[in-house]
Amino acid sequence: MEFLGYMRPDGSAGIRNHLCVVPLGSFASYVCRQLLGMVQGITLVSGLPGQFSPQGTESYLRAALIGAVTNPNIGGVIVVAGNLSDNSVVDSLAHSVSLTGRPVRLIRLPEYGGIGQASTAAFQAAVEMKRDISTTRRELVSVNKLCVAFDFSGRMAVEEGKLLPVFDRCSDRLVEEGGRTLYFGEMEESLLKLLARRATGSGVTDILARHFSMAGRGRDNVFATDKLNNEDQWGSAPIEGTVVLPQALPENPGVYVAVSDGFAPEKVVSAGIHLIVSTPGGQPLVDSFVPVLRVAADSWNIRDIIDLDLSGFLRGKLGSEDAAILLVSEILATCSGKLTAGEVFLQAMGAG
pLDDT tens for the chain, 352 residues long, are 999 999 999 999 999 999 999 998 778 988 998 898 888 888 888 644 444 444 445 677 778 888 999 999 999 999 999 876 567 778 888 999 999 999 999 999 999 988 999 999 999 999 999 999 999 999 999 999 999 999 887 555 556 678 889 999 999 999 999 999 999 887 777 777 788 888 887 667 777 766 655 554 444 444 445 455 567 788 999 999 888 888 889 999 999 998 865 556 667 888 999 999 998 766 664 567 999 999 986 655 667 788 999 988 888 888 889 999 999 999 999 999 999 988 888 665 655 5
Rg (C-alpha) for the chain, rounded Å, is 21
pLDDT of residue 293: 94
Residue 239 contacts residue 204 (beta carbons within 8 Å): yes
pTM, to two decimals? 0.89
Total tally of structural domains belonging to the chain: 2
pLDDT of residue 52: 41
Are residue 245 and residue 317 in the same domain, yes or no? Answer: yes
pLDDT of residue 57: 55
Are residue 47 and residue 93 in the same domain, yes or no? Answer: yes
Task: Out of 133, 165, 182, pick the residue that ends a domain.
Answer: 133
Q: Flag whether 169 is in a domain.
A: yes
Are residue 92 and residue 150 in the same domain, yes or no? Answer: no
Are residue 122 and residue 236 in the same domain, yes or no? Answer: no
pLDDT of residue 218: 45
Q: Flag whether 23 is in a domain.
A: yes
Are residue 56 and residue 89 in the same domain, yes or no? Answer: yes
CA distances from 254 to 239, 242, 251 (A): 7, 11, 9
Are residue 112 and residue 165 in the same domain, yes or no? Answer: no
Q: Flag whether 51 is in a domain.
A: yes
Give the CATH number for residue 50.
Answer: 3.40.50
Amino acid at site 140: L
Are residue 290 and residue 342 in the same domain, yes or no? Answer: yes
Which backbone phi and psi does 130 adopt, to 5 degrees? -60, -40
Q: Flag whether 34 is in a domain.
A: yes
Which backbone phi and psi does 100 adopt, to 5 degrees? -80, -10
Task: Out of 133, 152, 168, pick the residue that ends a domain.
Answer: 133
Task: Out of 83, 106, 133, pick the residue that ends a domain.
Answer: 133
pLDDT of residue 203: 67
Q: Flag whether 316 is in a domain.
A: yes
Q: Flag whether 218 is in a domain.
A: yes
Q: Helices (DSSP H) in the chain: which residue ranges?
A: 28-38, 58-69, 88-99, 109-112, 115-133, 158-161, 164-176, 189-196, 202-214, 226-229, 265-269, 311-314, 320-335, 341-348
Are residue 236 and residue 193 in the same domain, yes or no? Answer: yes
3-state secondary structure of 328: helix
Residue 33 contacts residue 89 (beta carbons within 8 Å): no
Write the DSSP string, 194-209: HHHTTBSSHHHHHHHH
Residue 179 CA to residue 223 CA, distance in Å, equals 28
268 lies in which domain range? 144-348
Q: Flag whether 225 is in a domain.
A: yes
Q: Which residues contact 338 (CB under 8 A, 6 or more apart)?
A: none
pLDDT of residue 300: 57
Are residue 168 and residue 293 in the same domain, yes or no? Answer: yes
If one counts every other C-beta atom within 10 angstroms of the C-beta of residue 131, the result is 10
Residue 180 CA to residue 184 CA, distance in Å, equals 13
pLDDT of residue 80: 93
Which backbone phi and psi does 289 adopt, to 5 degrees? -85, -5
Are residue 74 and residue 107 in the same domain, yes or no? Answer: yes
The backbone region for 8, taken as left when phi is positive above 0, alpha when psi lies in -120 to 50, beta otherwise, is beta
Are residue 197 and residue 129 in the same domain, yes or no? Answer: no
CA distances from 217 to 120, 123, 165 (A): 56, 53, 21
Q: Flag whether 138 is in a domain.
A: no
Are residue 90 and residue 211 in the same domain, yes or no? Answer: no
